[in-house]
Structure 1
Amino acid sequence: MADLLRLLLRVAEKAANVARLCRQDAHLFQLLVQEKTGEDKNKKFVQDFKTLADVVIQEMILHDVGVQFPEMSDFIHGEESNKFENGLGESVAVTVCSTEEETAKLLATVLDGDQAAAALLAGAIHQDPATIEATIDGLTVPLKPSELGIWIDPIDATSQYIEGREEALEEGRLFPSGLHCALVLIGVYLRSTGEPVMGVINQPFHNKDPGGSRWRGKHYWGVSCGGINICSESSPSDRSGEQRGLSVVLSSSEKQPVKEALTSVCGPENIMYASGAGYKILCVIQGLADAYILSEGSTYKWDSCAPHALLRALGGGVVDLAVSLQQSESGVQDPSTELTYHLPRADQTGADRWANYGGLVAYRDCSQLRSIMGALRGKL
């Protein structure tokens, strides 16, 4: 498991390098954006874009993990189809080849013969990043790779990535939108139960170097299995500072009855809004908000798997909102309400098979979860 975590941290950083490269090179970025259609489209959005960066990152992670852990290859899933259409209307299956030259040749067919752009992208795909620091020596978890599956969201909050608005982040403050909301998410789950057991989050656009020209990222990770709970972030009880009222982060499109119900327990000053499901859950992990509530079924397994593992390591979790609201008035939290990641919905097709249909609540503290459920019960 320590080897797997090291690998995921490394490939997530490679992914971040690809994401940064595609934003830094204006010519390359203009070639990359394509709108999703049909079953791949998130019905919440009028436009649901994917970029070649998304597809390349997903295929790169699948390739690199498959090389080191071939027994996992058939259980690595992602948000994106690897089909991309070039300017000639030809559909090209994007894959990562064994050599940089072969990958560049394939990418050139997607990029309408642009050899320079293809070589630039292939170089980032095949270049190993600097070592990622993580205190994981001696990590022993009684699991085998053959028992695990992986969910990848190559660039969560793609719309923010495409828009590219830059914000200077301040420690301890939630910023509702911007490039920092775009995250690389890699979650590991148990095939038998669907429990999330490991998560890696990379934030490619965390801050700029002192010269102000290049972005630097930040990574987060967590492992939760049995009695083992380790996270790169501190748990709520370890945090210093004054106590404040219960705070929540929502989507700006959240239903009005939900906003009103939460205002009664949080106060209007403690209701915040942000872009990207992954970023909103990261805000809960970091303690910038106590919970993230979504009443719609517009997130997917690839959005929640990685950050769910980190929250579990911190003593929290992510529950199915609809199922939780069906519980008794006692408010006793049943572990069966936690989201799982191994079974598709048989009554759906395409991406909808993997939607978190009941909505969700991401939380760090069970008592706060009970307060939220109490406020929402009977309102939906």
Structure 2
Amino acid sequence: MFFVSKRMCDHNNAAPTPTIMADLLRLLLRVAEKAADVARVCRQEAPLFQLLVQEKTGDDKNKKFVQDFKTLADVVIQEMIRHDVGAQFPEMTGFIHGEESNKFENGLGESVVVTVCATEAETLALLATVLDGDRTAASLLAKAIHQDPAAVDTGTEGLSVPHRPSELGIWIDPIDATSQYIEGREEVLEEGRLSPSGLHCALVLIGVYLRSTGEPIMGVINQPFNHKDPAGGGWRGKHFWGVSCGSVKACSVSAPKPAPDRGEGGNGLSVVLSSSEKRLVTDALAPLCGPGRMMYASGAGYKILCVIQGLADVYVLSEGSTFKWDSCAPHALLRALGGGVVDLNKCLLSSGGTDGGEAQLTYHRPLAQSHGADRWANQGGLVAYVDCKSLHAVIDTLKDKL
């Protein structure tokens, strides 16, 4: 169930293109499901999985982690999405950005540029080169890349968003929470509760933003390892999507209930954090939270998804350790639900109260004087929220403490 407002926002007097935008959403849902299949294939084949991991180095390394891994699955998913979107919407080519470099080094020390070719046979041949001649593993990947999955029913035929594809850009995080994906713990998701770690934290994230303003207007999230099929035992996924453009709001998720009052007898705010969050922050937020309502989870995308699903009121991160590809897609869903993702530092420096408007994260400009992945870092930390009063409570609490 979702809500769609059919009033349309105005953007540079562009002619409305509802069919094209609905087509783009359907395409992103379809390629996200293909991406999930690739992620599952890679985990199902143990000999293949051992070949998939290599450590990032230099400017591409996320400095938050001692080891930050790039996998062939990441690269293949990113290039598959770039290929499929560019084929249907060529005017977006050049504005489809991803986390990963598409250069991969095989076991023989050969550097291979990974691309999706015109045919399955050509893609198989290229992947076999990456995989040291392992044509069986390459065939599994090529088949997943070139499959034509069943159409995903969005139910958004009436959606009208007046933006042309030439006005849009895309951020891809092919597998968010890669460390959880690599480790592969099979935790069971409990209804109504977040889980701190496990395969379910690994997400495919595709976010669409306006090139002119950096505003996120469409997001698709695919959770490849949501649950196991009781019959066959294989993993099954779940997808989420949202569209937000001015007065046009549509989301596959119902808005969570408002955050509880924090007065006498209130249950307190529920906050999800990184396990590496500063002690100063956790000590400051603790009085806002009731027993068991300060929680920890892996993966920036998963933590924001917890807010989208109402499993936490807010996600707070005080460090600049997330990137545009982590936040763009889920940010669009939160905006569709009336919330957002703000720069924490900007909010703390604001002299007056904030509704989050000026501090909302944007996605079109790199940071000056930064290099590599750091050019696209969410440098000031972030707060993800649905209800503005939750945002206000966090900012009021952390002001003058950071």
Q: Is the 8 A contact 2:342 2:356 kept in 1?
A: no
> 1:49 aligned to 46, 69, 87, which one?
69
Query: Aligned match of 2:252 in 208, 232, 256?
Result: 232
Select which of 172, 176, 185 maps to 1:165.
Answer: 185
- Residue 209 of structure 2 corresponds to residue 196 of structure 1: no
Distance 1:47 1:332 in 2: 37
The residue aligned with 1:339 is 361
**Could you tell me which residue of structure 2 aligns to residue 360 of structure 1?**
382
Choose which of 89, 104, 114 in structure 2 pairs with 1:94.
114
Which ranges in structure 1 are unaligned for 5 or more consecutive residues?
A: none
Letter in 1 for 2:335: R
Matched, 1:131 2:142: no
Partners of 1:371 and 1:257 in 2: how far apart?
Answer: 16
Aligned twin of 1:286: 309
> Given the alignment of the two structures, is residue 374 of structure 1 paired with residue 393 of structure 2, yes or no?
no
Residue 317 of structure 1 corresponds to which residue in structure 2?
340
2:11 corresponding residue in structure 1: none
Are the counterparts in 2 of residues 264 and 375 from structure 1 also a CA contact under 8 Å? Answer: no
Residue equivalent to 1:253: 276
- In structure 2, the gaps of 5 or more residues are 1-20, 261-265
TM-score, with structure 1 as normaliser: 0.97
| Separation (CA, whole Å) in 1 of partners of 2:125 and 2:61 | 29
The amino acid of 2:273's aligned partner reads L
Contact 1:177-1:275 within 8 A present in 2 as well: yes
**Is the 2:32–2:220 contact (alpha carbons within 8 Å) kept by the matching residues of 1?**
yes
Q: Do the aligned residues in 1 keep the contact of 2:37 with 2:144 (CA within 8 Å)?
A: yes
Q: Which residue of 2 aligns with 1:147?
A: 167
Correspondent of 1:273 among 291, 296, 302: 296
Residue 28 (structure 2) pairs with residue 28 (structure 1): no
Sort the Cα spacing of 1:169 and 1:334 in 2 relative to 1 into closer, same or farther, 3 A.
closer
In percent, how many aligned pairs have the same letter? 76
* Residue identity opposite 2:176 in structure 1: D
Residues of 2 paired with 1:86 and 1:237: CA distance? Answer: 49
The question of whether the paired residues in 2 share the 8 Å contact of 1:322 and 1:358 is answered with: yes
Query: Which digits, 9 at most, give the CA deviation of each residue in 1:339-377, with x for residues without a partner?
Result: 000000121011100000000000010011100101100
Deviation per residue, 1:284-319 (Å, 9 max, x gap)? 000000000000000000000000000000000000
Tell me, in whole angstroms, the C-alpha distance in 1 between the residues paired with 2:32 and 2:293.
32
1:30 aligned counterpart, secondary structure? helix
- Structure 1 CA distance, aligned partners of 2:190 and 2:88? 38
Structure 1 segments (4+ residues) deviating >3 Å = 237-240
Distance 2:110 2:401 in 1: 49
Q: Distance in 1 between matches of 2:135 and 2:341?
A: 44
Conserved 8 A contact 1:75-1:150: yes
| Residue 244 of structure 1: how far off its partner (Å) | 3.8
Please state how far the C-alpha of 1:270 moved relative to its aligned partner: 1.0
TM-score (norm 2): 0.92
1:80 alignment partner in structure 2: 100
